[in-house]
Amino acid sequence: MKNLNRRDFFKSAALGVSLTVLGTSKAKGSDKMLSDDRLGILVDTDVCVGCRHCEWACRVAHNLPTPDLDNYSDNSVFKEYRRPDAGSLTVVNKFENEKNPLLPIHVKVQCMHCERPACVSACIVGALTKGDDGSVVWDDDKCIGCRYCMVACPFQIPTYDYDRSIDPHIRKCDLCTDRRKNDELPACVNICPNEALLFGKRDAVLAVAKTRVKRKSDVYVNHIYGEHEVGGTSWMYIARKSFDKLNMPHLAANPAPGISESIQHGIFAYFVPPVTLYALLGTIMWITKRRSGDDDELISDEEEKGKGGKL
């Protein structure tokens, strides 16, 4: 099993690097047609009340250490801006609402499940994949813990479980793949008291977002975050305040692989020798292994012969 993976890894490393070096790299998945039925989730920050039940449910669903739900009434966590970490795949942050200080704005953060995920194209061993349903999931068996995905992600989402660097674990929202297999809604969507997280087919969800923004044009800014950002994302947001002010990165509409490629190029610019070495080594190993396969036969023949000679 592990051997196979290693071999896979070297193959893809060699392939990845040679493609990158040649500069003809085509992002994985960018050719792939996205299914019309792929999923989407709309976060309506005007409806979210910041109860953080979604945080709680997400932890429970992923068997992460979970404090009692009653502890989630503590408002003081909002004092600092938080990011998802290895212990919580999603977090809710609070922002001022200048128009009405009594009704602050809450914004849930998690992996956006990009339509053209930079993490997927950055991962050199194919541990991250974009599924037909739109979800971007991580494979425990393939990950080598290089953390390229963390650098590539325009939203700085994947987190690394530093406590277990021997058996590396990248953690991020997986769109509750396991729950959905059992016909259950993602845990956060299911628990939200206000349905601030609207789950459905991406097209339908986007249509609802458009209607809400249009109907309450005096409330919402005319921008659906995630509709076009980095080529579109599965999670989308609407809000009454410009997204720059909600700590959402300002991103252009060109797909993230472009970004990740340039990041990769950037990284490789510094790391060319070792990477080329890797590639060379990989290629050499691959070739020698094939050869050694032949050699093995030769050797064994010789050995047999030798043995035979000895005998």
Residue type, 112: M
Least distance from another protein to the Cβ atom of residue 223, Å: 20
Site map for ligand SF4, 239-268, x if CB under 6 A? Answer: -----------------x------------
How big is the CA angle at 266 (ends 112 and 89), to the nearest 5 degrees?
A: 25
DSSP code at position 255: -
Q: Determine if 192 is a binding residue for another protein (CB under 8 A).
A: yes
Q: Of residues 215, 289, 291, 305, which one binds another protein by CB under 8 A? A: 215
Least distance from ligand SF4 to the Cβ atom of residue 27, Å: 11
Least distance from ligand SF4 to the Cβ atom of residue 305, Å: 55
Q: Of residues 42, 123, 125, 196, which one binds ligand SF4 by CB under 6 A? A: 196
The span of 115-123, 201-209, 268-276, 290-298 binding ligand SF4 (CB under 6 A) equals 115-123
DSSP code at position 79: G
First to last CA, the chain: 37
Dihedral sign (CA 252, 253, 254, 257): positive
Strand 235-238 relative to strand 39-44, pairing: parallel
The residues with which 238 forms a beta bridge, in sequence order, are 44
The span of 46-54, 135-143, 158-166, 222-230 binding another protein (CB under 8 A) equals 46-54
What is the Cα–Cα distance from 171 to 177, expressed in whole angstroms?
14
Least distance from another protein to the Cβ atom of residue 219, Å: 9
What is the Cα–Cα distance from 186 to 171, expressed in whole angstroms?
16
Q: How many whole angstroms from its chain centre is CA 191?
A: 23
The span of 89-97, 202-210, 212-220, 262-270 binding ligand SF4 (CB under 6 A) equals 89-97
Q: Of residues 28, 172, 212, 241, which one binds ligand SF4 by CB under 6 A? A: 172
Residue type, 176: C
Q: Determine if 143 is a binding residue for ligand SF4 (CB under 6 A).
A: no
Phi, psi angle pair for 265, to nearest 5°:
-60, -45
In 3D space, the residue among 108, 173, 167 whose CA is nearest the CA of residue 137 turns out to be 173
Residue 208 interacting partner from another protein, ligand SF4, none (CB closer than 5 to 8 Å by kind): another protein
Least distance from another protein to the Cβ atom of residue 31, Å: 30
Residue type, 57: A
Binding-residue total with another protein (CB under 8 A): 32
Under the rule (CB under 8 A), what is the footprint of another protein? 47, 49, 51, 69-70, 72-73, 75, 79-81, 99-103, 185, 189-190, 192-195, 198-200, 204-205, 207-208, 211, 215
